[in-house]
Structure 1
Amino acid sequence: MNTRRIIVAGSTGYLGTHIIKELQFRNADFEAITRNEIKLQAFGLKPQQIITAEVTQPATLNGVLQGADVLISTVGITRQKDGATYMDVDYQANMNLLIEAKKAGIKKFIYISAINGEQMQHLKIMAAKEKFVNALKNWGGDYCIIRPNGFFSDMKDFLEMARKGRVYLFGNGEFKLNPIHGADLAKVVVDAAYSNQKEIEVGGPDILTQNEIAKLALKAWKNPVKITHIPNYLRKMLIGFLRAFTSQKTYGPYEFFLTMMAQDNIAPRYGIHRIESFFEKEVDQLSKMN
């Protein structure tokens, strides 16, 4: 494996933290961009590995990518907590990184989008992500777009419902998906720094229906199987209501997840982590906290 200097943007998010751990495991030459140095120090990064910058403010990025070969960006919003929009972060913040990458002579830009993104550009989050994907494809340098099939962390919604004793699903619950653990996905991302692939779809090892995931979540809490199926037309009405009467900040995440849950999302299988074990560990941790 050739030695490459790697910089990670979005390093303190769910996937970013797993990428940092994977790079540490491989003894890779890397640095990480963050707003919060304390989080990265807690992961054992040395001061010279930490770049303090704000990706939404291009002036703070000036010169920080110099000397690097590969830039990995997991930058994006899933559940918005401030006034920033998807275009502000998923598109423009990544554009700020891309512009700086060009200046610095970065050889490869790796970006994490989402499965079926091209077909879902009517959603606010995917419109921003795919706008950046198109810019990346045309930047003139090497790139890789990684399209994971949902994270294990996204499945916590099942677990939260199961904790209360019942899981609610739209439709008959038979749509299939194979979400992937962050640790498995991190291996795919880091491997991409050394491969020639331009686009990678990837999911976890288990292809499950929503009903099967719901049962595993209820089992993890040792609750009986209680699943309520809500008519699909109510899902569509809910999306329409949220679009009409709430802000993008509110409806964006719901629009995305409600749309994803109304279709099969199956990607090539990869990894060793199983959703059943993930649920069991999460329940164990939550039980110890109470």
Structure 2
Amino acid sequence: MRVFLTGATGFIGSHVIPELRSRGHDVLGLTRSDAGAHRLEAAGVEVHRGDLEQPETLALGAAAADAVIHCAFDHNFATFFENTKKDERNIAAMGEALAGTYKPILITSGVGIGTPLNGGPATEDVLNPRHANPRIATELAGAALIARGIDVRTIRLPQVHDTTKAGLITPLIIEARRAGAVAYLGDGQTRWSAAHVSDVAKLYVLALEKGEPGARYNASVEEGVTARAIAEAIGKGTGLPVRPVAADEVQRYFGWMAPFAALDMIASNAWTRARLGWEPTGPDLLTDLAAMNFSALADA
């Protein structure tokens, strides 16, 4: 297939490219810059110029391909709500280009959207339209396309990591440096699910090749790693002290990430593995944190 890949120069998209090409797919990669175009060309990818601020440019890419993998998202958390609405507009535009075809579009969400109302691990069969996370806009946009008969498949991400990045843990490291200590709330037993970026990239391609219209897939490998274990790994890597904090101290140590401090973001992958034959092989989160070059994040 000829696959239009948004976020092609990003952390996850750059790993999806070799997975697609190794399985015989051609890639049309979205970029807005000359530097990005050079990187894509060097990776054997056809370049499509476009911008998340211009949904029509994404629609043109979708129309020119046999399938879409939508990894792009604006991760400026200062404007997180606005960015989810931007994602909604881009999904709608690409869906319009795919209307009346059998071409699939894979969109990207977060595992938290599948958390049951009564708690427990997030599962693929749960979609709470009243979820407090603004990222629900992504899945509601997908649902609107599904209602029109468009083949939408959703990849729900946990904390995606290697030795250079680790999802929300990367900005957590920056906040810890600002505060002078690595903190965890209470007894530190809240947990975040995680997956190595190489395993996530494989899942995107499996969902493209073997996935079902309307299905949601959890890209979690580890169901949950405790906040305390994460904090201790960061402390060891940075040399910062590690300490528990009470609820009234969270803002000081977590900054803009304070709302995440108490979240138990665990997720099951049993259904996804069974349906797609996904067999993760990458390192776990604590292994990558132990090998991370924390000094490289000092000015991030």
TM range (shorter): 0.7 to 0.9
Worse overlay, 141-150 or 52-61:
52-61
2:287 pairs, out of 262, 267, 277, with 277
With over 3 angstroms needed to count, the CA separation of the structure-2 counterparts of 1:212 and 1:33, relative to structure 1, is same
Shift of 1:107: 1.3
In structure 2, C-alpha distance between the alignment counterparts of 1:284 and 1:227, rounded to whole Å: 16
**CA-to-partner distance for each residue in 1:160-210, whole Å, 9 max, x for gaps?**
466676311223210122212222211101111111341111213473211
Percent identical among aligned pairs is 18
C-alpha spacing 1:48/1:14, structure 2 compared with 1 (3 Å): closer
- SS at the partner of 1:215? helix
CA positional deviation for 1:52: 0.7
Measured after TM superposition, the shift of residue 45 of structure 1 is: 4.5
Task: Report the CA distance shift for 1:209/1:92 in structure 2 as closer, same or farther (over 3 A).
Answer: same
- Kept in 2: contact 1:205–1:273 (CA 8 A): no
Q: SS in structure 2 opposite 1:178?
A: strand
What's the counterpart of residue 34 of structure 1? 31
- Please point out which of 66, 88, 91 is paired with 2:88: 91
Deviations 1:136-172 (A, max 9, x none): 3323122211112222232223444666763112232
Match of residue 209 from structure 1: 226
Q: Which residue of 2 aligns with 1:142?
A: 151
Change in 2 beyond 3 A, CA 1:200/1:46: closer
8 Å contact 2:191–2:225 — kept in the other structure? Answer: yes
Contact persistence 1:176–1:263 (CA under 8 A) = yes
**Cα distance in structure 2, aligned partners of 1:59 and 1:196:** 27
- Count of aligned positions: 269
Q: Quick one: which amino acid aligns to residue 202 of structure 2?
A: K
**Pair 1:267–1:68, CA change in 2 (3 A):** same
1:52 counterpart = 2:49: yes
Change (3 A) 1:206 1:47: closer
C-alpha distance in 1, partners of 2:86/2:172? Answer: 27
Q: State the secondary structure of the residue aligned to 2:269.
A: coil
The 5 A counterparts of 1:130-169 are: 130-151=139-160, 152-160=166-174, 166-169=181-184
**Structure 2 residue corresponding to 1:64, chosen from 61, 66, 69:** 61
The equivalent of 1:107 in structure 2 is 103
1:255 CA displacement: 7.2
Return the offset for 1:97. Answer: 1.4
Structure 2: segments with no counterpart, 5+ residues: 114-126, 161-165, 271-279
User: What is the aligned partner in structure 1 of residue 275 from structure 2?
Assistant: none
Provide the C-alpha distance between the structure 1 equivalents of 2:231 and 2:249, rounded to a whole number of angstroms: 20
Task: For 1:16 and 1:276, locate their aligned partners in 2 and report how far apart those are by CA, in whole Å.
Answer: 23
Map of 1:250 onto structure 2: none
The CA deviation at 1:64 is 3.4
Determine helix, strand or coil for the equivalent of 1:140: coil
Aligned residue in 2 for 1:258: 259
Letter in 1 for 2:168: D
1:20 Cα deviation after fit:
1.9
* Cα distance, 1:22–1:41 mapped onto 2, change above 3 Å: farther
Distance 1:288 1:232, change over 3 A: closer
Of 161, 175, 182, the residue aligned with 2:190 is: 175
| Separation (CA, whole Å) in 1 of partners of 2:252 and 2:35 | 43
CA contact (8 A) 2:3 2:67 kept: yes
Give me the TM-score of the superposition, normalised by structure 2: 0.74
Q: Distance in 2 between matches of 1:281 and 1:82?
A: 31
